[in-house]
């Protein structure tokens, strides 16, 4: 069994950051019973882009999205996501 070291007290976040940059967390924390954390309610970071599409394509997307009861921008994201999964 490995001896766990005591985590020192830090005067501020910067001092703690410097400490962890040069020390191995496994020497200070027993990870044998650690479980993977899940954060299901976190939203992915998004970035706005600008894309030019033909007006008739946008109209078709809006009609399709309306029939699915989703915003057309969401439909575009769904289509792109599915396309990337299959490429």
Mind listing the pLDDT tens digit for each residue in 19-41? 999 999 999 999 888 898 888 88
Mind listing the pLDDT tens digit for each residue in 41-58? 888 888 999 999 999 999
- Distance between CA atoms of residues 87 and 80, nearest Å: 11
Closest Cα to residue 64, out of 54, 74, 53, 52? 74
Q: Which two tokens stand for residue 1?
A: 């069994």
pTM for the full predicted model: 0.52
Angular region, 62: left φ>0, alpha ψ -120 to 50, beta rest: alpha
**At CA 49, angle to CA 52 and CA 78, rounded to 5?**
85
| pLDDT of the residue at 59 | 97
Give the chain's domains with CATH numbers: 1-33 (no CATH), 45-87 (1.10.1220)
């Amino acid at each position: 069994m490995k001896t766990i070291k005591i985590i020192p007290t830090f005067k501020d976040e910067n001092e703690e950051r410097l400490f962890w940059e040069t020390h191995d967390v496994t020497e200070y924390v027993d990870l044998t019973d650690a479980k993977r954390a899940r954060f299901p309610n976190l939203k992915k970071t998004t970035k706005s882009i600008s894309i030019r599409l033909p007006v008739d394509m946008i109209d078709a997307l809006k009609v399709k999205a309306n029939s699915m009861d989703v915003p057309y921008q969401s439909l575009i994201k769904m289509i792109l996501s599915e396309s990337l999964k299959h490429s």
